[in-house]
Amino acid sequence: MSDYLHDFFDIPSDLQHSWLGLIGLHLREALLPVAAGLLLALPIAQLCVRFRWLYPPVLGVTTVLYAIPSLAFFVVLIDYTGQSELTVMIPLAVYSLVVLVPAIVDGVRSVSEETLAAATAMGFGPVRRYFQVQLPIAVPAIIAGLRVATVSSVSLVSVGMLIGNQGALGNLLHDAQIYNRPELTWNSVITTALLAIVLDALLVLVRVLLTPWMPNRPTRRRPAPALEDAAR
Amino acid sequence: MIRIESVTKRYPDGTVAVDRLSLEIPDRSITVLVGPSGCGKTTTLRMINRMVEPSEGTILLDGQDIQRQPVTTLRRSMGYVIQNAGLFQHRTIVDNIATVPRMLGWGRQKARARAAELMERVGLDAALAKRYPYQLSGGQQQRVGVARALAADPPVLLMDEPFSAVDPVVRKGLQDELLRIQDELGKTIVFVTHDIDEAIKLGTMVAVLRTGGHLAQYAPPAELLAGPADAFVEDFLGGDRGIRRLSFFPSGALELTAGPVIPLDATAEQIAAPDAPFLLVTDADGRPLGWSEPGDLAAGDIRPDRLLSHGRPFVPGTDSLRVALDCAVLSPTGWAVAVDTDGKVTGVVSQQTIGEAIRSAHAAGRAHDEVAG
Ligand SMILES: Nc1ncnc2c1ncn2[C@@H]1O[C@H](COP(=O)(O)OP(=O)(O)OP(=O)(O)O)[C@@H](O)[C@H]1O
Ligand SMILES: [Mg+2]
């Protein structure tokens, strides 16, 4: 048993990382794109709220982007960014963006007409109103979007294995095959799943801390575009 | 004073929401805009704080064109209360109320102290301060809405159907509270409603608007009930405006009679003397116990539980003729019981006498109109 455990955590040297190192790498490759996606999604969503006509075309474009399988995305990008982490992270940032834009738009739009009118009547300018009223009230929707984006990002990083071992924990799958060590497959699958679960729980915690004003029974938000990760 | 001068609002889609409306809104009183749905009440109200810009015409605040001052300054000098309160769901009650003072640069401590003071003024328990809006009832939220609008002590209060989303009992409480607060603070209030009863209860002046934003009539409520300008206003006032108009006639001049009032320990002579079809029995403190026919009463053995209910009494001078009439109508004998503020019987009055008082009040009103006109 202890031998098995030993083998389980014995990461082949060609990966150039310990188990913890792989986790760190995986987190970076998964979370940086989500952060980038969020940074881009906020202004895009704000434009969509401000100019209503913009939302349907933006939604159309993002849905098409979301439908591109990650592998195809990687292959196209290799010509420009080579077999690098960036090649993995760009598609993940795009997927995050696609999930987050509608989440933020719906969240900001969920602020009631009365609340907006009250804010305007109290002398809130549009900028102050956005940051002090609309965005805070959209937090639950934004975090719901972040949960979807984060979990799918964590699982998709592994696909990076296929482009020159840029898949962090996913690279274990490759090594499991070439060294015939099935325990590495288990390591990859279990660690990735745990990472996703822990990150998801952390986001729920952040949500609870940021929104003491929510009724205890949270109203269910419509999930952003259906998870099609299986297709990738 | 707010002067609306021949203001028209045409929305981009061509809808004329308000059409050449002119209105003088007096200081320190409640002016009610009332009318059917879509007649331009909200639009008019929102033009006063420039949430809607007029297409034509001007609005003057204390003689100054409101276009001349920065829009945020204008808005912060006007409290705004709306249906469903429109509270910030992500802020506690104190923080909601302290919003405008904070924006005006008050310190946190001072703003919160002010919020606490206002919570008391609008009748909210201080224990609610740290709660969030979802933890309050609709009526409580509406009180917070009023407190928030009053926070920076603005001279003007704009209220858009503030009480229409709560049940009638709570609404009555909120209306009474508003009148009380207005007595204390003397704000210039513009109040929008589609409920004519609310308009009549709250308004010093009532502006009846007709669809298309036309002013149908602008008058004090009593005048409105007495002389609707046209069929539209008359129809809008409803079928029982005659009865409702009685609210504006005082009952102080009613001629009371104390003859049929006898004490619980009345003698046989006291029971026989009044020669009235019914007698009102009072207790040792002079409070009413109930009615009885003289024949059913035995001196020395009057049983309070055998008496007919005396119904609700009225207080002459405080209550209106409408209340007096209501008491008489509800009384099993057709006589209304008058009491003083301590609840002691001062006399009784018949429906007939009340009817005469109504006729002479109407006659006095007409004479007044003829003199004025
Ligand atoms: N932003 C807008 N664009 C176009 N038309 C509008 C707009 N806002 C209001 N209207 C129209 O202007 C008219 C007056 O609207 P307003 O909201 O002032 O009515 P209201 O008297 O407040 O009605 P309610 O009692 O239903 O609140 C209506 O016909 C309405 O449809
Ligand atoms: Mg309205």
ipTM: 0.81
B298 and B187 housed in the same domain? no
Residue B254: inside a domain: no
Residue B371: inside a domain: no
Can you give the pLDDT of all 232 residues of chain A as single tens digits? Answer: 567 777 778 888 787 888 888 999 999 999 999 999 999 999 999 999 999 999 999 999 988 988 888 888 888 888 898 888 898 899 999 999 999 999 999 999 999 999 999 999 999 999 999 999 999 999 999 999 999 999 999 999 988 888 877 888 888 888 888 888 888 889 989 999 999 999 999 999 999 999 999 987 555 444 444 444 444 5
Predicted local distance difference test score (pLDDT) of residue B275: 78
pTM of this prediction exceeds 0.95? no
pLDDT digits over B204-216, tens only? 999 999 988 899 9
Q: How many domains does chain B have?
A: 2
Nearest CA residue ID for atom 11, ligand 1: B17
Residue B373: inside a domain: no
Q: Which of the 8 DSSP states describes residue A203?
A: H
CATH at residue B287: 3.10.580.10
Residue A226: inside a domain: no
Residue B52: inside a domain: yes
Predicted local distance difference test score (pLDDT) of residue B271: 84
Alpha-carbon gap, residue B187 to A124, rounded angstroms: 23
CATH at residue A26: 1.10.3720.10
Which tokens belong to B215?
């002013």
Domain that holds residue A186: 17-111+138-212
B139 and B48 housed in the same domain? yes
Residue B253: inside a domain: no
B38: Cβ below 6 Å to ligand 1? Answer: yes
CA of residue B42 to ligand 1 center, whole Å: 7
H helices of B41-92, where? Answer: 41-48, 71-76
Pocket probe mutation, ligand 1, options B9, B43, B52, max atoms within 8 Å of Cβ: B43
CA of residue B222 to ligand 1 center, whole Å: 29
Chain A residues closer than 8 Å to B87 by CB: 115, 118
pLDDT digits over B246-265, tens only? 988 999 889 999 888 988 88
Residue B113: inside a domain: yes
Domain end call among B182, B216, B248: B248
Predicted local distance difference test score (pLDDT) of residue A224: 42
Residue B97: inside a domain: yes
Predicted local distance difference test score (pLDDT) of residue A222: 45
Sign of CA dihedral A118, A121, A122, A125: positive
B322 and B212 housed in the same domain? no
Does residue B191 have a pLDDT over 90? Answer: yes
Q: How many domains does chain A have?
A: 1
Alpha-carbon gap, residue B119 to B115, rounded angstroms: 6
Does residue B153 have a pLDDT over 50? Answer: yes
**Residue A69: left (phi > 0), alpha (psi -120 to 50), or beta?**
beta
Check CB contact under 8 Å for A122 and B99.
Answer: yes
Residue A100's nearest CA partner among A57, A158, A39, A178 is A39
Alpha-carbon gap, residue B198 to B175, rounded angstroms: 8
Does residue B80 have a pLDDT over 80? Answer: yes
B227 and B101 housed in the same domain? yes
Does residue B316 have a pLDDT over 60? Answer: yes
B234 and B310 housed in the same domain? no
Percent of chain B with pLDDT over 90: 75
Domain that holds residue B337: 261-358
